[in-house]
Amino acid sequence: MDTLFEIDYDRKKRTGAPEIIYGAGKTKEQIEMIIDDMIRHDQDGIYVSRVDEQKAAYLLKRFPQFEYDRDARVFVWKRSWDLVNDGTICVICAGTSDVPVAKEAVLIARFLGNETDFICDVGVAGIHRLLNKVERINEANVIVVAAGMEGALASVVGGLTDKPVIAVPTSVGYGANFNGLSALLSMLNSCASGVSVVNIDNGFGAGYMAHSINCLAGRR
């Protein structure tokens, strides 16, 4: 029977980053076959996103050299974690409930060779916590902000820094949050000019874009 996958092994040459395995919707056996194929092709790093704990437990028995982050649901291995960019990516999340999305951004940014700074629980309900971190935030080349509820944190950070801000709306919030839609709309309508927005709960996309920006910053 033909395999159900075909790895894009030229992607790193074209884009600077290898193909990432999206674990949701794949069986643990399918993920295992894909990882096996990548190892046989001598890949120096393998990143699987959206892996639940049951799949991770199965895969760790087969690939004990990998690490699993339960919060971010990331199954990852890399031959060398050396940095490829000089600048830092700062990932900020409004509350502890936003950590899974924020850590997804942290891990893909690290996997792609960036130094990261993770700042947690600095939402606007206690804005003094954020203001105490402004100097640290401004040391980064690019900033990722993950927030649910009304998503205000991204606009506030955008008004405090001259660095690009990538906003990630999360599905955290009560009923009228509409699973992150309210945060998404707030971020899209931000009055802070330096804010761009990725999709709801897309920490991966935010971390990847932050890496792309950080690469450009290093070429100045």
For 131, the token pair is 């203001």
The pLDDT value given to residue 1? 44
For residue 107, which of 32, 148, 46, 182 has the smallest C-alpha distance?
46
Residues 6+ apart with CB under 8 A from 93: 99, 101, 102, 119, 120, 121, 122, 145, 146, 147
Digit-by-digit pLDDT tens for the chain (220 residues) are 456 678 888 888 888 888 899 999 999 999 999 999 999 988 889 999 999 999 999 999 999 999 999 999 999 999 989 888 889 999 999 999 999 999 999 999 999 999 999 999 998 988 999 999 999 999 999 999 999 999 899 999 999 999 999 999 999 989 888 999 999 999 999 989 889 999 999 999 999 999 999 988 866 5
What does the pLDDT read at residue 5?
Answer: 75
Quote the pLDDT of residue 220.
57
pLDDT of residue 11: 85
Angle between helices 99-111 and 203-217 (to 10 degrees): 40
Please report how the helices 53-62 and 28-40 are oriented relative to each other, as an axis angle in degrees rounded to 10: 40
User: Closest by alpha carbon to 38, among 18, 24, 61, 67?
Assistant: 18
Give the C-alpha separation, 111 to 154, whole Å: 24
pTM: 0.91
Q: Would you state the structure tokens that stand for residue 195, as one six-digit string?
A: 């804010």
Contacts of 170 (CB under 8 A, 6+ apart): 97, 98, 101, 146, 147, 148, 180, 183, 200, 201
* Residue 204 DSSP class: H
**Six-digit token pair at 174?**
């009560």
Q: Report phi then psi at 4, rounded to 5.
A: -95, 15
Per DSSP, 65 falls in state: T
Distances (CA, A) of 3 to 158, 160, 187, 219: 46, 50, 41, 41
The CATH topology of domain 88-217 is: Rossmann fold (3.40.50)
